[in-house]
């Protein structure tokens, strides 16, 4: 094998590692997207803004010299509380009015946070320091940072946690029941409004977590939710919207594809590739990779 070929493989491995770390963060954001869709069939365009609001909470916590773990909790709680307010004041009153009004409302909520964010926080990007001091390990020609490893295992932990929650806890099984049939769940005595609110809170807090962890690659600014939200949406649809493992799979696919394409070809294609994948999936498997591709359930 020529020297060039060997380096090509080392490069690919490096992009793969970077892609998995990036994809883990997309997965975290996509999980909330998919859970909310699963329970009320709402494509929540404001999900990226929950992430942004959470990231700002983390940013301010750090600015006030609070320790990193507190900043992480602030991000998660901040995003979760914003989601609870949006659900209660905006989404709940129009629930049952149809999907198009809900979609338009979600886009409106998203824009409200983007522009109010610019007004209140300023449009300039702000840096958030990485969760901990970055240490880079070399394996042959590839580099892996402790942050990447942390993010990867954290995402795996979150997936296991969500599996446990939805299969072994009363509220989690109720979430699955409600996502299948809201009215029947209500007949069981399940307060479905509370289950929906809890789902929003949980999904948004994962977005907030991703928001602050992203500090190691990108800055915090009011429009950050736009592209991240879109990518998470693409990830959720690619994996099969409404399906929790699908969101994770979609996140990894988008993260890896982006890093491969921008590394091996052109970095300007980075954002385009996720939409390319989306179009292919919608043509080949409209229900997503893990989706049933049958008529949508109730």
Among residues 116, 127, 191, 293, the one that binds other proteins under rule CB under 8 A: 191
Nearest to 164 by CA among 152, 176, 153: 176
Contact 144, 136 (CB under 8 A): yes
Least separation in angstroms between residue 193's CB and other proteins is 8
Q: Which is nearer to other proteins, 32 or 242 (CB)?
A: 242
Contacts to other proteins from residues 133-172, by CB under 8 A: 170
Q: Which residues contact 214 (CB under 8 A, 6 or more apart)?
A: 25, 55, 128, 228
In three-state secondary structure terms, 166 is helix
Backbone torsions φ then ψ of 137, nearest 5 degrees: -100, 140
Q: Could you write out the DSSP letters of every residue in 57-96? A: HHHHHHHTT--HHHHHHHHHHHHHHHHHHHIIIIIHHHTT
Distance CA 179, CA 38 (A): 6
Give least dist CB 44 to other proteins, A.
21
Select the residue interacting with other proteins from 192, 199, 259, 262 (CB under 8 A): 192
Indicate whether 189 belongs to the interface with other proteins (CB under 8 A): yes
Contact 237, 42 (CB under 8 A): no
Question: Which residue lies nearer to other proteins by CB, 19 or 242?
Answer: 242
Nearer to other proteins, 146 or 193 (CB): 193
* Shortest CB 160 distance to other proteins, Å: 19
Q: Which of 8, 161, 163, 180 binds other proteins (CB under 8 A)?
A: 180
Residue of 20, 79, 190, 278 that binds other proteins (CB under 8 A)? 190
Smallest separation (angstroms) from other proteins to the CB of 105: 23
Query: Residues interacting with other proteins, by CB under 8 A?
Result: 170, 173-174, 176-177, 179-181, 183-192, 297
């Amino acid at each position: 094998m020529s020297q060039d070929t060997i380096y090509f493989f080392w490069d690919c491995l490096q992009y793969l590692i970077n892609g998995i770390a990036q994809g883990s963060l997309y997965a975290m954001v996509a999980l909330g997207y998919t859970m909310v869709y699963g329970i009320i069939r709402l494509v929540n365009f404001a999900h990226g803004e929950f992430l942004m609001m959470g990231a700002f909470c983390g940013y301010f916590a750090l600015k006030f010299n609070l320790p990193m773990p507190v900043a992480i909790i602030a991000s998660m709680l901040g995003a979760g509380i914003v989601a609870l307010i949006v659900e209660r004041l905006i989404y709940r009153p129009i629930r049952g009015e149809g999907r198009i009004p809900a979609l338009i409302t979600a886009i409106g909520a998203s824009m409200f946070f983007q522009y109010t964010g610019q007004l209140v926080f300023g449009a300039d990007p702000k840096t958030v320091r990485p969760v901990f001091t970055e240490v880079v390990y070399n394996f042959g020609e590839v580099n892996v940072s402790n942050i990447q490893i942390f993010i990867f295992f954290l995402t795996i932990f979150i997936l296991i946690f969500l599996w446990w929650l939805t299969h072994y806890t009363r509220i989690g099984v109720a979430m699955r029941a409600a996502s299948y049939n809201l009215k029947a769940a209500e007949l069981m005595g399940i307060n479905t409004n509370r289950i929906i609110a809890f789902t929003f809170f949980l999904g948004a807090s994962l977005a907030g977590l991703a928001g602050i962890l992203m500090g190691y690659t990108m800055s915090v600014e009011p429009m950050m939710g736009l592209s991240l939200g879109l990518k998470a949406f693409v990830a959720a649809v690619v994996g099969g919207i409404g399906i929790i493992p699908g969101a994770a799979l979609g996140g990894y696919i988008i993260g890896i594809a982006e890093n491969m394409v921008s590394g091996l070809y052109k970095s300007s294609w980075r954002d385009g590739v996720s939409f390319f994948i989306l179009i292919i999936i919608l043509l080949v498997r409209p229900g997503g990779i893990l989706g049933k591709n049958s008529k949508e359930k109730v």
